[in-house]
Amino acid sequence: MNYNTLGETDLLVSELGFGASGLGGMFEKINESDALNTIHSAFDRGINYFDTSPAYGRNSSIFGPVTSEIILGKGLKDIDRSKIVLSTKAGKNASLPPEFNFKYNSIINSVESSLKRLQTDYIDIVFLHDIEYNKGMHLNLAMSEGLNALTQLKKEGKIRNFGISCYSVDVLQKVIQNYDMDAILVHNHYTLINDLLLDLMPKIKAKKMGLISASPFASGLLTHQGPPDWYPVTSKEICCINKAIQFCSQHNVTFEKIALQFALSNVEIPTTLFSCTNAQILGKNVDWIEEPLDDTVIQEVCSILEPLRNIDFDFGSYND
């Protein structure tokens, strides 16, 4: 496992980070014992960066109730805190359906609650979560009261760094240009079907912000299992994915391996978050990033997936 410094912070993060959205039942039903074992396995395999959110959970569905922060807190409590980098989010209080509150006191209370659920005295990074949702109606409040709250929490030592997490490239462009923060979390924009992060990276670096890329599997789209029920994808787009999966099968290559290797192939990206709830699957993912890339196969797969290149799935609009 390689480790990189995150921007101008003092955080040294593993190139592959553990995104805990899956622990909240966002993709499939989970078993808590398996989830805890997966967290421990991640650390044992060299992963030191763990990310979660109070919004990762299902309260009333076939998957719930379950909350990512609580499970992650249980999994990390016996690990030396100084050996892990931990991030969570605030402002988005629920995902299914989405609920937002970026007011000053709400952000303060959210982080205080996260500290308790995560069983820690401080959080290394807190991101304002999905600030672009509902056609940007929360953006001004997030970037005023929300940022002010995180600034205060940083002064108090309860958090060490702060930033935003976002999907919309337009919003990212605006935030990077007009605001100062420690880190930016961008999801779904450096995958086999999307490379829009490349346009943002020089601007992020110029502002001395740390970059976290998330979702190498495009939130489940680039997998055999396919996307979760909330994914705004069409049957035509799924057909294109299936063609790529079939190509990989014919060449004795795992589709998910190609997706993960591509997402970690850019040395300018300090860390990439992925999510899983099974220790065996986690082990396979770590094994894959340690294997050499097959550039020819990756190029062929990208060619098959070209019709999906840089499609704006607009998760915020979908969840209005």
Catalytically active residues, by annotation: 56
Give CA–CA dist 205/183, Å, rounded.
10
Q: How far apart are CA 259 and CA 188, in angstroms?
A: 12
Cis bond before residue 228 (omega within 30° of 0):
no
Q: Report the C-alpha gap between 193 and 211 in whole angstroms.
A: 20
Q: In angstroms, rounded to a whole number, what is the distance separating the alpha carbons of residues 163 and 211? A: 10
- C-alpha–C-alpha distance, residues 112 and 241, integer Å: 41
Give, rounded to a whole angstrom, the gap between the first and last alpha carbons of the chain. Answer: 39
The owner of tokens 């020089």 is 202
Distance CA 93, CA 74 (A): 20
d(CA 263, CA 76): 26
